[in-house]
Structure 1
Amino acid sequence: MNRITSIVLLLATLAFPALAQAQNAQITGTVLDSVNRAPVVGAYVAVSRNTPEAKPEYVTTDVNGKFSFTGLTKQVTYLVKVSYLSYKDATQVVTLHNDSEDLGSITLTEAVANLKEVKVVGQITAMEQKGDTTQFNAAAFKTNPDATTEDLIQKMPGITVTNGTVTAHGETVNRVLVDGKPFFGDDAALTLKSLPAEIVDKIEVFDKLSDQAQFTGFDDGNGQKTINIVTKADRKMGQFGKVFAGYGLDNRYQAGGNISFFKGNQRISVIGLSNNINVQNFSSQDLLGVTGSGGGGGRGGAGGGGGASNNFLVGNQSGITGTNSFGLNYANKFGKKVDVSGSYFYNRTGNTNAQTTEKEYFLSGGTGNQFYNENSRTSSTNSNHRLNFRVEYNINANNSLIVTPRLSFQDNHSSSVKAGLTTLANGSNVNSSDNTQGSQNKGYNFSNDLLFRHSFAKKGRTLSLNVNTQLNDRDGIRDLYSKNMFYGITLPDTAMRGDTIDQRSFTKSDGITLGGNLIYTEPISTTGQLLFNYGLTVSNSNSSRETYNMSFDANTYSDLDTLLSNNFDNRYITNRAGIGYRYRKNSWSANLGLDFQNTGLYSQQLAPNNAKVDQSFTNVLPNFMLSYRSKSGTQFRTFFRSSTNQPSISQLQNVIDNSDPLSLTAGNPDLKQEYRNMFNVRYALAGANRPYSFNAMVFVTQTNNAIVNSTFIAQEPTTLPNGVVMERGSKLTTPINVDGSWNARTFLAYGKPVAPLKLNVNLTTGFNYVRSPGMINDISNYSNTYAVSQGLVISSNISEKLDFTVSYSGNYNVVRNTIQPKLNNNYYTQGITGRVNWIFGKGFVVQSDINNQSYRGLGQGYNQNFTLWNASIGKKFLKNNAGELKLTVFDILKQNNSISRNVTETYVQDVTSRVLTQYAMLTFTYTLKNFGKMPVNDNNRRREFEGGGFPRGGGDRGGRGFN
């Protein structure tokens, strides 16, 4: 079944038009700074026929300083001109005698003239498609002087930020780079909130391949949607940032800031934050989910802090959170060979929350559905240390070494009190529980990637070796005290029994993974290249749980509960070998590959009983990519890949977890690996000759042996095979393998500036289809969800003093189940948001944001319509308006709310949570702006074209691998 599905989807991709065999030629090259030989990112390269009347066409350099200009004619002479702000132009006349002419390294020297004397070359459009990169010119989007990079990118077509999650063209952005280098690791939210919009020259959006894939030019499936922030040349030298402090009613407070010191390649940034108004400046990677009590994406629009009135705002959280955080980022280049970047980040969050949860489980067989209602109060404290480091050493022109270690520590304390009641449709009680528990979890994660790359004398012949290591360890203690009542079947509820649980559990898990991947590439023609790869991965993990009941004789937790205790070992050994072929000529490129993979799984339960699982999986994993890109800005790309996903050790460990005595969970040692087929198509239009931009994308994922949940709800007291007794109405959830999982998404984005009105208009629409298999009481259910989404954003482009945005987002969802059709559901959610920032008079500032949320079809008591309105008024003063004092009022209408709905294959869940309500705060902010000029080394002022230097990338974004 796996191979048949893969072949069918692969053949479907081959139905696209055959590769064009155009005879167009191309010019390539790399633009470098003359002083430090660093890549010049975002430089404009103009190419025209070498005649006075010829009109030039433009491309820009990528994060590696590389450019490629296609669609040219052989035996014709061209003029190549490279321009960049604050640099002198560089020109060269080139006659194309071959299909491809590589100009090598082009060095630019800084101009001595003031910025006012710099001449603008050509007309720069708001958005252009440069190969596989979508590039936005920041100057085309006007923002207020206090705006962050996050504020800037939200004006750009197809980019959204919701509750700290950045999406670009329908995909989640996992990395944000600054001039091609990491900034605070892979934390996209932290980077965008720390950098002011005024230092940004361009925003680049692309799929960043892994370092090894960049070098070889073959996509290995490990790429990530990435944003690269290209800073202005005149902002690469100086100090900038802001500090702020505020205090308000109900003892609400906030203080923090961010300061950056830029001196060419040396960059140091320091950030800090402390508040109790739900504001955070980091992403969810620092809240590792040890417990579920802190975090969560509540509804109700902008959270504490007031939207536009606070630039560190992430979004509304469930409950009320206090945050203390500190971070340091460092980047530098030592000589011509060593690039270093690293960061340290610490945060401590404390969250308190109160929630009401309602669940309806889908049952069959005439027993009616089961309803669960819960009221809970939770609190948690989470501390996290995160370190990232990267060293890139260009040993010589043919060899390089990249080392990337990462380390994080976490300490989490949490407690909860909750009361739950299970009933049937006729109103009879099934069971109830009063549950109190506390837990403490500590752990660390360490990983390191080491990549060695070698280029042979023959262009396109390369060898690369990647070695990776992963270590993790986690220890936890949990105390549980629960009083539970179980009612009889007859009415009224006269037959009932109760039990009390008083126990302490100790959990420990650790693992180590060692892996290596060797890749060799060989050119076989001017347009073709072969790849041979072999990889070996060995993973060992152990997980144990010891549960002790209270011994009333000894008044201590000393009675080992063997039914709830377990010790489990797990080992994976994966061998993978494959071959690939790459074709590239002019505007067309294609990859075709086939991997053969064998995975051995050995699992052993050591306690309380000895049991073994020994399995082997053999898979054929095809991949295919076809892309076309024109100099006019048209891009087409289709991609297919098969992959596998291994079950985690917690999914394999078959010990009962009774954290919620009415809802038990356990693993399944017989789980098989998932087999996934992924297919996507992308089409983009953008360029200087178009007054608009358009992106269309289709993503399809089909999974065989999908790991899903099987839920068993006891209709009467039931003894499980391990001896645990399930009372009537209690639930047991275990993972199983099921075929038939599908996820399909489409995304369309259209953006156009309306010059007469000085507005930017962005329109998005999408359709999602999700088919989720599951099982409840041994009956399979497939939940089919159809969702249509529509978005509209109108943002101002009037001036820096008047900045406003109006947006609409609507989602209509249709849910259909194969069992219990009467529970099929249609529901609609809608959000309308308006934001304004107006600077007038002698430094007066008015800021306001209003967000209306509407929910329909969620059920009685959950269909709501509420409005969150925040506003502030302030005054700028001091020299250059560096100081600002403002008064902010949050939730003026006192309507802030938090509602969420979760529809699965076995139940529908509605949750309401505690939120931050109205308060007022007075805040002082000081802004630092001190920019200088880069020093110029007269000895390095060369305008000639030079060769040499180790290449910094590969693939469609440049590289030694193949051009």
Structure 2
Amino acid sequence: MNRFTFFVLLLAGFAAPAFAQNAQITGTVIDSVSRESVVGAYVSVTRNAPDAKPEYVTTDVNGKFTFTGLTKQVSYLVKVSYLSYKDFTRAVTIANDTENLGIITLTEAVANLKEVKVVGQVTAMEQKGDTTQFNAAAFKTNPDATTEDLIQKMPGITVANGTVTAHGETVNRVLVDGKPFFGDDAALTLKSLPAEVVDKIEVFDKLSDQAQFTGFDDGNAQKTINIVTKPDKKMGQFGKVFAGYGLDDRYQAGGNVSFFKGNQRISVIGLSNNINNQNFSSQDLLGVSGGGGGGNRGGGSSAGNFLVGNQSGITGTNSFGLNYANKIGKVDLSGSYFFNRTSNSNVQGLSQEYFLQGGTSNQFYNENSRTNTTNSNHRLNFRIEYNIDPKNSLIITPRLSFQDNHSGSVKAGLTTLASDGSKVNSSDNSQGNSNKGYNFSNDILFRHAFEKKGRTVSVNFNTQLNDRNGRRDLYSRNMYFDNLVQGDTAMRGDTIDQRSFTHSDGITLGGNLVYTEPISTSSQLQFNYGLTVQNSNSNRDTDNLNYDDGTYSDLDSLLTNNFDNRYVTNRAGLGYRYRKNSWSANLGVDFQNTGLYSQQLAPINNKVDQSFTNILPNAMINYRSKSGTQFRAFFRSSTNQPSISQLQNVVDNSNPLSLTAGNPDLKQEYRNMFNVRYSLAGAKRPYSLNAMIFVTQTNNAIVNSTFIAQEPTTLPNGLFLERGARFTAPINVDGSWNARSFLAFGKPVAPLKLNLNITTGFNYMRSPGMINYVPNFSNTYAISQGLVVSSNISDKLDFTVSYSGNYNVVRNSIQPNLNNNYYTQGITGRVNWIFGKGFVVQSDVSHQSYRGLGEGFNQNFTLWNASIGKKFLKNNAGELKLTVFDILKQNNSITRNVTETYVQDVTNRVLTQYAMLTFTYTLRNFGKAPANNGGNYRRRDFDGGGDFPRGGDRGQGGGGRGFNN
């Protein structure tokens, strides 16, 4: 209650200065011929007074703009400018709080290129509402650059191992002109679009469709990048195709081609190679990795739903994708199909040190493994938005994926004592896995606006289905060592030969009703109610080999389980929203009751029936100025339910030396999240600054409890552990904290034609756990520093030099002698130079250094790739290039993972030196949009929230299309 009262007072304190009344001017800018929105047009407002200076904004993805902080009964001159269009000017005297200029049409200017007027120096970055907007024209790239190459020059945006990060947060979605492009795969979109078609890059937190409509943040926002394409690139065909072959039978072939015709957009991609080039996300990989040390916290997958990254090892990929988007009458339609098949081979070395207490020697576990995996995936995504009329709309978003995964592995594990290196146990095993499954989800959202501005109702229905079938064959020979007397060692062992079949399925049905009611011109109430019912079932049948008849018919009861689980959640809430001029604030509270019913049907009958009641407050304060300053503070409480895999108490013996199981007595997590953001950007500043603090505190955190047998032990659940074997299961523990801070500073160095980006971060994580029934708190402090210097000279010479360093301090509560400091750093350089008659030289060098890791893991290595090529054919459309990869033969892969129970270092197989000759053909064919393309429709503003923005205070940017169609 004290925390809740604090945020109420904080909200009132910030909202108090916001009551000064100011007027605003709004409007929508479209092309006079195609009737398309003109995105990124410069709009200036100048007061009719001596020495008055203009203020600037730009139009958003829907062609809309808003000027706030103006004065009624005062005359202003409004001017709209955009390259290749005639200027529009109008004198306006503001009579009301809001002066709406309606639809403003721009006519294309008829002029030679040398007569085109430059509207002033391009501003690299602007802060518009809660949207950070980058102008692509301010960043020079070479003619062959992709959007991924472009955004890496922008302050605070990085791309590493396929993961896109903006201002310290992982980017979950990338849109093109406000529409999905190949589902939620950020890396695929950025690699498929050439940089030359990009006009602007917008970075923002995209609210859910329902939250955009109401203006109340429902906590489901995703960090999003919206790519705004240039108006003159919306008609035509573009893309590239390539094929190459090299030493050691290395090959690559593929390409992407897009056909843009106003609203209709079709893109086709394809890829085939065996050089680790992957263009998909981890949602395409059916999770089959698990166990093996209990490293997956809480028993779940270590990869996030949207984490984009390559598999370890060497991968061969075959993929194909098709994306379609169009506006047909009142319907906005977008959809994509994507298929990929990968064959992965990996050799891995793993070293773990487990924390023990009470004078007991710590244990080292070392493992070497070889794995081959084949994965196939079909993924379909659709979005259908039907604007029935200005007051009603319907959005349907179905998603479907099918997955098929097969893997085989052999591994050898050895446990030793840290004190003297004596052997404790060892295991040599081989296993084969086969998994098939599908996932389906569908959201149906209906939104209605009443005649009274700000009075709305929206209803959302959600359905989720999943099904998975798997088979595992395991053969393992295990040895156990006992030091009976000094110098005398006895050894015994066992053999596991078994087959398991698993099946899991689930269905979730949910509904949510939201009603908003204005109580004044600047405030609004929201009432919401939601009901969710989730049912899931999981069963595993495990049979040992029957040596009498040679069949797998000997049931292993400890490894067999049939488990049903059901959640029923009722949630009702009340929210208040205030918005005036540059300030806005939300304050709300939800009341939630969750019923958990679990039943184990085999091998014994056991029931769990629990009920949880929670009060979930939320508060938000947002300030944004015309000059580009933004401050945002946000607090929210939420709950997280344990998954069925965390609840199911069946033992997973994939690694007989490290067993795992679920816990049916788990409770839900209760989280408090606090976020503060501050940013400075705009045309009047020669720099940009973004700062963020993100703090999460969790009660009943789901963490791991690990028991390491010091002698042969039978656990309370009947599981027998030999000496040195480990058993891990999830439990609930308080005291989990995660705090992150991030600072990004960007500044163009005009005299040197460079872009300078500096990033600094500090992270703190307090991870609770339990080892042999003794609580342990692992405290990790991490300081990161980054520096990027990129060229802004010309499209002929493009280079980037960067540095990243991370210093980590680890402190443990039960083993101070294991406190550890380690440091990693990377220095990279990349250059792309086009000279002479189409000659191209490319080179990139990356130096990695590791200090403070385990023995054999402290390394320095340099990866150097280089190529030389020649452009030819008309408009240099063709290029022949020779590339040498890993010239110095030093490529390596090292990662460290610190948990509450152990420290782990891992090495993976990497691709080594090869040379390849590649031919690339680039397609560029852009033309003028035909008259009346897509029909003579006018962009209509769906009058949902009245004077309340539907984009969650998105201001001028955002790609959060809402109902602005």
TM range (shorter): over 0.9
Aligned equivalents of 1:293, 1:190: Cα separation in 2: 30
Q: Tell me by how many angstroms 1:83 deviates.
A: 3.0
Q: What TM-score results when the alignment is normalised by the length of structure 2?
A: 0.94
1:167 aligns to 2:165 (yes or no): yes
Counterpart position of 1:424: 417
Q: Tell me by how many angstroms 1:954 deviates.
A: 3.5
Aligned equivalents of 2:456, 2:804: Cα separation in 1: 48
Counterpart position of 1:306: none
The secondary structure found in structure 2 opposite 1:363 is coil
Counterpart position of 1:56: 54
Counterpart position of 2:303: none
Q: Tell me by how many angstroms 1:85 deviates.
A: 3.8
1:52-131 map, 5 Å = 54-111=52-109, 118-131=116-129
Q: Tell me by how many angstroms 1:165 deviates.
A: 0.5
Counterpart position of 1:486: 480
Contact 2:394-2:447 at 8 Å conserved across structures = yes
Contact 2:754-2:791 at 8 Å conserved across structures = yes
Aligned equivalents of 1:743, 1:166: Cα separation in 2: 21
Q: Tell me by how many angstroms 1:947 deviates.
A: 7.2
Aligned equivalents of 2:359, 2:25: Cα separation in 1: 72
Contact 1:110-1:936 at 8 Å conserved across structures = no
1:228 aligns to 2:226 (yes or no): yes
1:903 aligns to 2:898 (yes or no): yes
The secondary structure found in structure 1 opposite 2:118 is coil
Q: Tell me by how many angstroms 1:191 deviates.
A: 0.3
Q: Tell me by how many angstroms 1:863 deviates.
A: 1.1
Counterpart position of 1:304: none
More off after superposition, 604-613 vs 44-53:
44-53
Distance 1:35 1:593, change over 3 A: farther
Q: Tell me by how many angstroms 1:120 deviates.
A: 3.1
Give the residue type in structure 1 aligned to 2:46.
S
The secondary structure found in structure 2 opposite 1:406 is strand
Q: Select 2:456's aligned residue among 446, 458, 462.
A: 462
1:407-556 map, 5 Å = 407-425=400-418, 426-490=420-484, 491-492=486-487, 494-556=489-551
1:7-18 map, 5 Å = 18=16
Aligned equivalents of 1:649, 1:374: Cα separation in 2: 29
Counterpart position of 1:876: 871
Contact 2:162-2:310 at 8 Å conserved across structures = no
Contact 1:602-1:614 at 8 Å conserved across structures = yes
Counterpart position of 2:643: 648
Distance 1:369 1:181, change over 3 A: same
Deviations 1:423-443 (A, max 9, x none): 112222111100100000011
1:373 aligns to 2:366 (yes or no): yes
Aligned equivalents of 2:189, 2:668: Cα separation in 1: 36
The secondary structure found in structure 1 opposite 2:953 is helix
Counterpart position of 2:301: none
Aligned equivalents of 1:870, 1:655: Cα separation in 2: 48
1:892 aligns to 2:887 (yes or no): yes
Counterpart position of 1:397: 390
Aligned equivalents of 1:939, 1:250: Cα separation in 2: 51
Aligned equivalents of 1:750, 1:89: Cα separation in 2: 34
Give the residue type in structure 2 aligned to 1:446.
F
Contact 1:86-1:234 at 8 Å conserved across structures = no
Distance 1:551 1:939, change over 3 A: closer
Aligned equivalents of 2:111, 2:504: Cα separation in 1: 62
Aligned equivalents of 1:173, 1:619: Cα separation in 2: 30
Q: Select 1:919's aligned residue among 914, 917, 920.
A: 914
Contact 2:767-2:900 at 8 Å conserved across structures = yes
Aligned equivalents of 1:328, 1:82: Cα separation in 2: 37
1:334 aligns to 2:340 (yes or no): no
Contact 1:765-1:791 at 8 Å conserved across structures = yes
1:933-944 map, 5 Å = 933-937=928-932
Q: What TM-score results when the alignment is normalised by the length of structure 1?
A: 0.94
Deviations 1:463-485 (A, max 9, x none): 10111110011110000000001
Aligned equivalents of 1:875, 1:502: Cα separation in 2: 59
Deviations 1:194-252 (A, max 9, x none): 00000001111111111011100111110111111111111111000000000000000
Q: Tell me by how many angstroms 1:37 deviates.
A: 5.2
The secondary structure found in structure 2 opposite 1:488 is strand
Counterpart position of 1:298: none
Counterpart position of 1:154: 152
Distance 1:12 1:422, change over 3 A: farther
Contact 2:522-2:580 at 8 Å conserved across structures = yes
1:848 aligns to 2:846 (yes or no): no
Give the residue type in structure 2 aligned to 1:329.
N
Counterpart position of 2:952: 955
Distance 1:91 1:520, change over 3 A: farther
Counterpart position of 1:716: 711
Q: Tell me by how many angstroms 1:108 deviates.
A: 4.1
Distance 1:15 1:867, change over 3 A: farther
1:213 aligns to 2:234 (yes or no): no
Counterpart position of 1:353: 346
Q: Tell me by how many angstroms 1:51 deviates.
A: 5.5
Aligned equivalents of 1:400, 1:349: Cα separation in 2: 41
Q: Tell me by how many angstroms 1:91 deviates.
A: 3.6
Distance 1:35 1:676, change over 3 A: farther
1:865 aligns to 2:860 (yes or no): yes
Q: Select 1:240's aligned residue among 238, 241, 245.
A: 238
Aligned equivalents of 2:897, 2:12: Cα separation in 1: 38
Aligned equivalents of 1:824, 1:252: Cα separation in 2: 44
The secondary structure found in structure 2 opposite 1:880 is helix
Aligned equivalents of 1:240, 1:800: Cα separation in 2: 19
Distance 1:146 1:771, change over 3 A: same
Give the residue type in structure 1 aligned to 2:325.
A
Q: Select 1:781's aligned residue among 753, 764, 776.
A: 776
Contact 2:689-2:745 at 8 Å conserved across structures = yes
Give the residue type in structure 1 aligned to 2:382.
F
Give the residue type in structure 1 aligned to 2:356.
L
Q: Tell me by how many angstroms 1:12 deviates.
A: 6.1
Give the residue type in structure 2 aligned to 1:164.
G
Distance 1:266 1:87, change over 3 A: farther
Q: Tell me by how many angstroms 1:835 deviates.
A: 0.2
Aligned equivalents of 1:179, 1:587: Cα separation in 2: 27
Contact 2:163-2:309 at 8 Å conserved across structures = no
Aligned equivalents of 2:196, 2:751: Cα separation in 1: 24
Q: Tell me by how many angstroms 1:25 deviates.
A: 1.9
Q: Tell me by how many angstroms 1:715 deviates.
A: 1.2
Deviations 1:361-387 (A, max 9, x none): 001122210111111111101111110
Q: Tell me by how many angstroms 1:751 deviates.
A: 0.5
Counterpart position of 2:577: 582
Deviations 1:406-433 (A, max 9, x none): 0111100011100011111222211110
Q: Tell me by how many angstroms 1:599 deviates.
A: 0.4
Deviations 1:883-936 (A, max 9, x none): 000100000000101111111111011111111100000000000111111113
Q: Tell me by how many angstroms 1:450 deviates.
A: 0.6
Counterpart position of 1:571: 566
Give the residue type in structure 2 aligned to 1:609.
I
Aligned equivalents of 2:613, 2:115: Cα separation in 1: 65
Matched length: 938
Aligned equivalents of 2:939, 2:714: Cα separation in 1: 78
Distance 1:819 1:5, change over 3 A: farther
Distance 1:141 1:423, change over 3 A: same
Unaligned runs of 5+ in 1: 295-313
The secondary structure found in structure 1 opposite 2:718 is coil
Distance 1:329 1:909, change over 3 A: same
